[in-house]
Amino acid sequence: MRLQVENLSYSYGDKKAIDRIFIHVAPGEFVGIIGPNGSGKSTVLKSIYRGLTPDSGKIMIDGEDLSAMSYRKSALKMAVVTQENELPFDFTVEEIVAMGRFAHHKLLDIETSEDKLIVNSALKYLGMEALAKRSYIHLSGGEKQRVLLARALAQQANLLLLDEPTNHLDIRYQMQIFDLIKHLNIAVLSVIHDLNMAALYCDRLYVLKEGRVVDEGVPEKVLTPKIIHDVYGVHTFIQKHPITQKLSITFLPEKQD
């Protein structure tokens, strides 16, 4: 699955949220979007998962124009986990994960035994088997997040879009989820808040500031003290970690004695 975003712009009313954005994700690539609050990260993802219609620009999936694609077809191609994990009705965990199979069926089709297997293995993958019959609304934030990831996996799409997928999770689950996603070997475009996680897991990064891509490239190119200072206004000390061989970022307090 190849994703190409070309010259994408969107305004909320007269406020420009994203401005002429270019992003591409190659098959199997894990690409991160970083940038401060309000820089347009979620708006980029929303445009791709068709949560809004861009004012201009083009989104292509495997060379096909997304705006001309049926919603069902785009749901077969991409799975999404956003930050909004509240649902209006109560379902069990397993019912929610089974929703990931909807795009594979015609309306009112019966769930097949293959669907059940896929749902069960997605639950197992995320360590949620024991919670299968539990009601979703009573789960903790982190548990909900894992259920929604399981639903995305059950969808078996080859492009995964994630908006801060681990923001409710403790460090063990954060690493587990990123490891798991990495091993899926599908195209991933993820907004990531934690720059050290971005350095550990992403093949390439896009840096957004005020609705524009201001830098892009491998973490070693993008995660420099200068760029981080320009974008976030904080000082850092950055080194290659001796064990992971990835960049490790330490944030420095403003005043040091």
What are the Cα distances from residue 9, in Å, to 16, 33, 94, 132? Answer: 8, 16, 38, 41
What are the Cα distances from residue 189, in Å, to 12, 38, 135, 219? Answer: 23, 18, 30, 15
Query: Which of 38, 217 has the CB closer to ligand ADP?
Result: 38
Least separation in angstroms between residue 93's CB and ligand ADP is: 27
**Residues with Cβ within 8 Å of residue 84, at least 6 apart in sequence:** none
Which of the residues 14 through 33 are near ligand ADP (CB under 6 A)? 15, 17
Of the ranges 24-32, 36-44, 89-97, 116-124, which one interacts with ligand ADP (CB under 6 A)? Answer: 36-44
Binding residue for ligand ADP, selected from 27, 38, 141, 217, defined by CB under 6 A: 38
Show the tokens assigned to 105. 């069926």
Of the ranges 38-46, 118-126, 194-202, 209-217, which one interacts with Mg ion (CB under 5 A)? Answer: 38-46
Task: Identify what 35 binds: Mg ion, ligand ADP, none; CB under 5 to 8 Å per kind.
Answer: ligand ADP
Euclidean distance between the first and the last CA atom of the chain, given in angstroms as a whole number: 51
Query: Which of 190, 236 has the CB closer to Mg ion?
Result: 190
How do strand 187-191 and strand 30-34 relate by DSSP bridges? parallel
Binding residue for ligand ADP, selected from 8, 30, 39, 178, defined by CB under 6 A: 39
Least separation in angstroms between residue 21's CB and ligand ADP is: 11
Of the ranges 41-49, 141-149, 196-204, 238-246, which one interacts with ligand ADP (CB under 6 A)? Answer: 41-49
Question: Mind giving me the DSSP string for 143-210?
Answer: HHHHHHHHHHHHTT-SEEEEESTTTTS-HHHHHHHHHHHHHH-SEEEEE-S-HHHHHHH-SEEEEEET
Binding residue for ligand ADP, selected from 32, 35, 100, 165, defined by CB under 6 A: 35
Task: Identify what 89 binds: Mg ion, ligand ADP, none; CB under 5 to 8 Å per kind.
Answer: none
Residue 217 phi/psi, 5-degree rounding, is: 145, -170
Question: Which residue number is nearest to Mg ion in terms of Cβ?
Answer: 42
What are the Cα distances from residue 111, in Å, to 118, 175, 184? Answer: 11, 32, 24
Binding residue for ligand ADP, selected from 31, 34, 40, 119, defined by CB under 6 A: 40
If binding is defined by CB under 6 A, does position 190 make contact with ligand ADP? no
Residue type at 71 in one-letter notation: Y
Binding residue for ligand ADP, selected from 14, 37, 70, 172, defined by CB under 6 A: 37
If binding is defined by CB under 6 A, does position 53 make contact with ligand ADP? no
Greatest alpha-carbon span in the chain: 68
What are the Cα distances from residue 8, in Å, to 3, 13, 163, 216, 246? Answer: 13, 16, 18, 16, 31
Which of the residues 158 through 187 are near Mg ion (CB under 5 A)? none
Q: Which residues of this chain interact with ligand ADP, rule CB under 6 A?
A: 12, 15, 17, 35, 37-43
Q: Which residues of this chain interact with Mg ion, rule CB under 5 A?
A: 41-42
